[in-house]
Structure 1
Amino acid sequence: MVRAWLFDGVPGDQRLPHKREGSQEISLEKLAELGVLYLKLDADNYEDDGKLAQIRSERGYNYSDQITLSPEKLPNYEQKIKNFFEEHLHADEEVRFIVDGSGYFDVRDTSNQWIRIELVKGDLITLPAGIYHRFTLDSNDYIKAVRLFKGEPVWTPINRPADEHPARVDYLSHHPIAISAK
């Protein structure tokens, strides 16, 4: 089951858990209010059990690929990890199914605080278009994920501030509890 908590904001290694002292776990319901969807799949049998194929069909994901992030597999690793951690949004959903390794997605809550979402093998997360977020690996420095897309894949981050971007405006209209982070 996914674990999520308030990010402590303490400067230092972004790959550490950064769990705010006294912070309780954030529920799946709270994440869903922000438009973040979560499923647990069998990462060892997803190609045969049909569950990922069913999700792809139901949600219209017609393109997928696989990415491995590690110092050995990703050229210019340190700089790219820093870039992934810059606050941004996308014009399309961001969908990741973790088939090995682990990492963190951070999203903003209604109080403009970061919620850190820990992802491990078998976790599938969908971040809605227009949500401000960022990503980092954890201290294991390794993750392997299937990326899912509707239509042509677009990996372009739109760095904050982007409150006037159509995806952000649409996100806020569908998730009125979310605030525009200033």
Structure 2
Amino acid sequence: MTLLYKWNASAPDTELLRTAQPEEIAAELYTLGVRYEQWPTQELADDADQEAVLAAYADEVARISAEENFVTVDVARLRNTGQPDFAETARAAREKFLDEHTHADDEVRFFVEGSGTFYLHIDDTVYAVVCERGDLLSVPEGSTHWFDMGVADPQFCAIRFFHDGEGWVGDFTGEKISARFPGHDELLAGK
């Protein structure tokens, strides 16, 4: 279930908002300049590669690419298929995105499968958007944020959209604010 949480940045123990209503989530995020949509989902084979994922969502990818002038589209996938080094791979990926950062481009993701949480630190407020299959989220260029895929079962597949060919480039703030807020697993558990 997609969820939106809101806290004062200095009071992570006190929720200002918690909702699972898509219209309410979209309206709240719209005030921040954040695009949120829910797309119809497609069934994919367990071994679907980037080409298969992009083919399944070709119409939606073409539409949003034309609307937003995206020049690069790819697929990021973290999935436990029994590989012996999965825990280490997942830990390293989580640590990279868990630190607060900004981008010189919008960060646009469509969740094909799995889940993850985007945290937006805007002025003195922190918003957490728990995204799941079917959710599209666009974090505007320059927005301070971080991403948590969780520890318990870190699995997701997301289509990523970029305005240039560099792909994901983060400018880290050095702040450790993410440690003060509930993580992805805690939010999923309703804590």
Same fold, TM exceeding 0.5?
A: yes
Aligned to 1:176: none
Amino acid across the alignment from 2:172: N
Aligned to 2:127: 115
Superposition RMSD on alpha carbons, in Å?
2.9
Q: Distance in 2 between matches of 1:22 and 1:150?
A: 34
TM-score by length of structure 1 reads 0.71
Equivalenced residue count is 153
For 1:151, what is the secondary structure of its paired residue? coil
| Structure 1 unaligned blocks of 5 or more | 10-17, 163-182
Question: How many Å apart are 1:7 and its aligned residue?
Answer: 5.3
- 1:79-113 per-residue CA deviation (whole Å, 9 max, x = no partner) reads 32122010000000111010010010000244x22
2:36 to 24, 35, 38: 38
**What does 1:12-161 align with in structure 2 at a 5 Å threshold?**
20=14, 23-25=17-19, 27-44=25-42, 47=56, 50-70=59-79, 72=83, 76-110=89-123, 112-138=124-150, 139-160=152-173
- 1:33-85 per-residue CA deviation (whole Å, 9 max, x = no partner) reads 21110111123077367233111111111211111124556863213212201
Counterpart contact for 1:43–1:98, Cα < 8 Å: no
Q: Distance in 1 between matches of 2:130 and 2:147?
A: 10
Between Structure 1 and Structure 2, the one with more strand by share is: 2
| Structure 2 unaligned blocks of 5 or more | 44-54, 176-191
Question: How many Å apart are 1:161 and its aligned residue?
Answer: 6.1
Q: Distance in 2 between matches of 1:153 and 1:99?
A: 22
TM-score by length of structure 2 reads 0.68
Amino acid across the alignment from 2:170: P
Q: Distance in 1 between matches of 2:87 and 2:61?
A: 26
Between Structure 1 and Structure 2, the one with more helix by share is: 2
- 1:21-44 per-residue CA deviation (whole Å, 9 max, x = no partner) reads 574336322211211101111230
